[in-house]
Amino acid sequence: MAALIDGIRANNFVVVGRAGIDLYTDPGVATEDAETVTVGLGGSSANIAVGICKLGGQASLVTRVSDDSIGSYCLGQLKRYGVGTEYVTPVGGEYRNSLAFYESRVAGHRNVIYRNGAADFQMDADDVAAVDYAKFGALITAGTVFAAEPSRSATFDAFTRAKAAGLPIIFDVDYRPYSWPSAQVAEEVLSRAAAQSDMIVGNDEEFGFMAGGIEKGLDKARALAESTATIVIYKMGEKGAITFADGAEIHTGIWPVDALKPTGAGDSFMAGLVTGLAEGQDLRDAILRGSACASVTVSRPGCAPAMADTATLTTFMADHPGPTDA
């Protein structure tokens, strides 16, 4: 536990994975009724990095972006939010940045993500070899980075290099079926990544997927905590989370809000969690901080733009009822 927490307390993270462009409707508007949409930065790893920087930490992203105006937009937005872009590399040809189009509503919410020929999947061994791991405290990645080659092998290489430099590995399972060639490949690869990680964060469906059935997910999370991982967080949506660490189970609730949309919750949870630990909070308080971040994000439009900064989070936690009992 000490090595993991010490790495996080550096509050300087190398984050591996995609940055994308988001298009989203006005609040309550269905796609077919939209006359205007808003553009924002998205992509799970980029969102995590943005959330960390908004909350006073430091983060640098390792990825590829398309060598076009969309890639330039993503790069500019990362810089605007304070994310380090020294390891973001443009790629030409027919590779394009991922694009998400989603509705700012909960009932009937639809989210379409275009990932054909995705630029970020072209991240390779040279990209991760160029990283100066010694200047960071921990490595964070999300499961989408493993869905295709050469990104998959490059990320496992980054794990090896980070561990050699003494960095703990923090893994958000983030299973997105549309990105993978098959469920079997996804199960094998995500399980391999989890087995190499020091902290694992996922929801009940994701752990259930790795275990071969949602009813087996909780036992899978517990088994990982008892074997290879130091901290495992099993999220259950409105029912809160169960965290396994040091042989104990920590049950935590959520901060109820009127959600505008469901997207971005997991990314903001991760950002709030690790920055809370970095500031010296105990594990329970850091988990509740992550839950508060998730609630802020789902109550506002967009993903990266909706992530809480320190002032917003402080006000929310002081004034908002919650958290619920676990």
Counting every residue written for the chain, the total comes to 326
What is the band of 95 on the pLDDT scale with cuts at 50, 70, 90?
Answer: very high
Domain that holds residue 53: 2-319
177 φ/ψ angles, rounded to the nearest 5 degrees: -55, -35
Domain contains 224: yes
Domain contains 326: no
Domain contains 275: yes
What is the band of 305 on the pLDDT scale with cuts at 50, 70, 90?
Answer: very high
Average pLDDT over residues 84-102: 97
Domain contains 325: no
Q: How do residues 31-74 score in pLDDT, each as one tens digit?
A: 999 999 999 999 999 999 999 999 999 999 999 999 999 999 99
| Cα diameter, the chain | 53
HSE-CB for 250 with a 13 A CA cutoff? 16
Q: Which among 134, 199, 142 has a CA at the least distance from the CA of 166?
A: 134
Pairing verdict, β 58-66 and 84-91: parallel
Instruction: Name the domain count of the chain.
Output: 1
Report CA 204 to chain centroid distance, whole Å: 16
Cβ burial of 227 (10 Å; 0-12, 13-18, 19+) is exposed
Percent residues over pLDDT 70 in the chain: 100
Domain contains 260: yes
pLDDT at 325 over 90: no
pLDDT at residue 128, as a whole number: 98
Domain contains 324: no
Residue 88, SS3 per DSSP: strand
Q: What is the DSSP letter of 243?
A: E
Q: How do residues 178-233 score in pLDDT, each as one tens digit?
A: 889 999 999 999 999 999 999 999 999 999 999 989 999 999 999 999 999 999 99
Domain contains 126: yes
pLDDT at residue 230, as a whole number: 98
Report CA 176 to chain centroid distance, whole Å: 12
Percent residues over pLDDT 90 in the chain: 96
Average pLDDT over residues 117-129: 97
pLDDT at residue 64, as a whole number: 98
pLDDT at residue 178, as a whole number: 87
pLDDT at 326 over 80: no
pLDDT at residue 321, as a whole number: 87
CATH number of the domain within which 223 lies: 3.40.1190.20
Average pLDDT of the chain to the nearest whole number: 96
Domain contains 87: yes
What is the band of 23 on the pLDDT scale with cuts at 50, 70, 90?
Answer: very high
Sheet containing strand 37-42, edge to edge, reads 37-42, 20-25, 99-102, 111-114
